[in-house]
Amino acid sequence: MSAVTAGRCHQAEPVRLVRAWQALIEMVRVRRERSRARDQLATMTERELLDCGMTRAEIMYELRKPRRRK
């Protein structure tokens, strides 16, 4: 490997690390956002759910799904 190629590899490593951290941060942000939405749906009254066009059964189905599949 030449010195130029080795230099590029060392420069690319921090970029990959930053991108990995950014992806992880985004996944955590999305998961927290979805968790808040599920919590809000779980606390809604029947009337509020009907206004949204949802039933309690649909909400319970969504809440029971494993988190990784949502």
Coil vs helix vs strand at 60: helix
Q: Please give the pLDDT value at position 48.
A: 92
Q: Report yes or no on whether pTM surpasses 0.85.
A: no
Q: Please give the pLDDT value at position 12.
A: 73
Q: Please give the pLDDT value at position 7.
A: 53
Residue 41, CA distances (Å) to 28, 29, 66 in order? 20, 19, 16
Q: Please give the average pLDDT of every successive group of 10 residues along the chain, which has 70 residues.
A: 54 86 94 88 89 87 70
